Structure 1
Amino acid sequence: MLKIYPENPNPKDVRQVVEVLRNGGIIIYPTDTVYGLGCDITNAKAVEKIARYKNVQVEKSNFSFICSDLSHLSGFSKPVSNQVFKMLKTYLPGPFTFILNANNNVPKYFKGKKKTVGVRIPDNSIIIEIAKELGNPIMSTSIHDDDEIIEYSTDPELIHERFSDFADLVIDGGYGDNIPSTIVDCTEEIPVVIRQGKGIFEE
């Protein structure tokens, strides 16, 4: 377990996390919504391990990619209209997942018959700095709680207790939220909210 402060993430700590990712490790990290579970998107074995844990096939999963900024994001999606670009610029970084048309940079094992990719730029400096240092997006899926009332785990110590046998590193970035991101589908001309979460999207 590694404590990192969101106000000013220590570069040494960030490099330590990136080293774990580059070695095919799985990490748990804070975002601006719920805590996430993820790995480097280019590491097929780590991606497969998470998919098995979540009991889904990679190509049928709804894993999203965490990018460090808009130029990083644009490397994995087909060109978007000026209108969509302005919208992304308005809402990111923020508690949104945008579904875009994927380009050929998205690893084949993610695609299957799907031609889309879900992308996030969370308003959280810890995971942004990690993605920036890594140079690749981080595959992301939310951590769910077994509790019937609380859907998402928010306490990093309890998360560590529960996932220490599975994840190689848990980042303690303070308490997380228990509301997931708002998902907006931008693959057609008019963006559509397909899951209402923390972010308020003005359609």
Structure 2
Amino acid sequence: MARYYDVHPENPQRRIIGSVAESIRSDALVAYPTDSCFALGCQLGSRDGVSRIRTIRRLDDRHHFTLVCRDFAQLGQFVHVDNDVFRAIKAATPGSYTFILPATKEVPRKLLHPKKKTVGVRIPDHVVVRALLDELGEPLLSSTLLLPDEEEPLTQGWEIKERLDHSVDAVIDSGDCGTEPTTVIDFSGGEAEIVRRGAGDVSRFE
């Protein structure tokens, strides 16, 4: 059964955040809220976590996983960003955007798009997630919590606990969460390509 953590949305309890981070380091798969919608997350190098996310969402090997990062310094360790792209991303973060970029050698090969060698990255604007990332000290490997054959992500912590009780190890609930996934911008070709229109305003990239 999944552990259920009730976290204050503005002042996350340090003890709870520490407990969640420790479970992630021990290979746990967690469902957590973001500034767009709920996501599934695990440790960067977790083979089991990646496999479980693929199983829950029925994903193939062309799916772009996302590295949810604390800040630009951390993001820069995992993707190649030239000056023009840097400025564009900097102006839009933190926020509800995922950016697809060429990956560095720090990213495990199994997380890369098989042909493009790219990975998704984002810096969320969410107090609880940022507290968790601070505690972890590394990105959280993530994917939107969108179940197969469903059009919208799950939005309620209690419902996620009920439906995925035996598929995830923990559920973090900090109140209302959005229903719209991030806007996805592909910069791997040097120019902004809008892959998915979501919670982030796309006008700056059009």
Please indicate, yes or no, whether the TM-score normalized by the shorter chain is above 0.5: yes
Match in the other structure for 1:102? 103
Gaps of 5+ in 2: none
Moved more, 108-117 or 25-34: 108-117
Match in the other structure for 1:136? 138
Report whether the alignment pairs 1:38 with 2:30.
no
Question: Would you say the 8 A contact 2:64–2:111 is kept in 1?
Answer: no
Report the TM-score when normalising by structure 1.
Answer: 0.92
Match in the other structure for 1:195? 196
CA RMSD across the alignment: 1.7
Amino acid at match of 1:33: S
Q: Distance in 1 between matches of 2:18 and 2:143?
A: 22
Q: Distance in 1 between matches of 2:134 and 2:77?
A: 13
Q: Distance in 2 between matches of 1:158 and 1:146?
A: 16
Once the two structures are superposed, residues 123-167 of structure 1 have per-residue CA deviations (whole angstroms, 9 ceiling, x without a partner) of: 10111221221122111111225786x612111111111111111
Q: CA deviation at 1:200?
A: 0.6
Question: Would you say the 8 A contact 2:12–2:128 is kept in 1?
Answer: yes
Amino acid at match of 1:73: L
Q: Distance in 1 between matches of 2:158 and 2:55?
A: 24
Once the two structures are superposed, residues 61-104 of structure 1 have per-residue CA deviations (whole angstroms, 9 ceiling, x without a partner) of: 222111111111111012x2222112221111100001111010
Percent identity of paired positions between Structure 1 and Structure 2:
34
Gaps of 5+ in 1: none
Q: Distance in 1 between matches of 2:42 and 2:148?
A: 22
Match of 1:24 among 22, 27, 30: 27
Alignment of 1:1-203 (within 5 A): 1-57=4-60, 59-78=61-80, 80-111=81-112, 112-144=114-146, 151-201=152-202, 202-203=204-205
Q: What secondary structure is seen at the aligned counterpart in 1 of 2:166? A: coil
Q: What secondary structure is seen at the aligned counterpart in 2 of 1:60? A: coil
Q: What secondary structure is seen at the aligned counterpart in 1 of 2:18? A: helix
Amino acid at match of 2:161: H
Question: Would you say the 8 A contact 2:34–2:124 is kept in 1?
Answer: yes
Q: Distance in 2 between matches of 1:6 and 1:90?
A: 25
Q: Distance in 1 between matches of 2:21 and 2:66?
A: 19
Once the two structures are superposed, residues 182-202 of structure 1 have per-residue CA deviations (whole angstroms, 9 ceiling, x without a partner) of: 000111232121111111131
Q: Distance in 2 between matches of 1:61 and 1:186?
A: 16
Q: CA deviation at 1:52?
A: 2.4
Q: Distance in 1 between matches of 2:182 and 2:70?
A: 17
Q: Distance in 2 between matches of 1:93 and 1:125?
A: 11
Q: Distance in 2 between matches of 1:147 and 1:117?
A: 24
